[in-house]
Amino acid sequence: MPALIQFASGAPGIKYRIDQRYLSIGRDTAENDICLPCAFVSKHHAIIEIVEEEEGLAFYLQDLASTNHTYVNDRAIVRTRLHDGDMIRIGKNSFKFDASGPLPLLDAVELDFELPGAGETPSRTWNFSRRLRLIATE
């Protein structure tokens, strides 16, 4: 299964499996899938998203406008596609993206149908929207 492997003093350490569509990374324990208790990590620092593309699953890393940025292969990023072996730096934490192993099975995206408002014609206002679980930023 694809994973982030955290490095400490140059040696591999904790392995975080990427097995869900969105994986949030940040300093806050309650609201992130990967918690990095470091002063250089923002409360909501970054997110890894698995995207279904024509050639298969792709993994994207997105910085969430963090104070100290997110780096892939020593380059600050806003959003980038991850490739096997990419080195990621978040605060003072280093990770290696490991794309080996079987790909995760993802749940279908939950869809929500919005009903028309008062005074609107139902035939024209059936809106179809995707509601994805993202980080709650309050």
What's the pLDDT tens digit per position in 29-70? 888 999 999 999 999 999 999 998 888 889 999 999 999 999
Answer for the pair 28, 136: CB distance below 8 angstroms, yes or no: no
Checking if the pLDDT of 136 tops 70, the result is no
Distances (CA, A) of 1 to 4, 21, 89, 97, 104: 10, 13, 21, 11, 6
> What would the pLDDT profile of 68-82 be if each residue is shown by its tens digit?
999 999 999 999 999
Q: How far apart are CA 68 and CA 41, in angstroms?
A: 7
> What would the pLDDT profile of 80-128 be if each residue is shown by its tens digit?
999 999 999 999 999 999 988 766 565 554 545 555 555 555 443 333 3
Q: How far apart are CA 17 and CA 137, in angstroms?
A: 24
What are the structure tokens assigned to 73, written together? 């292969």
Q: How far apart are CA 88 and CA 99, in angstroms?
A: 13
pLDDT of residue 114: 55
What are the structure tokens assigned to 124, written together? 């024209």
Residues 114, 31, 47, 101, CA torsion sign:
negative
Question: Which among 118, 119, 55 is positioned nearest to 81, based on CA atoms?
Answer: 55
State whether residue 29 is helix, strand or coil. Answer: coil
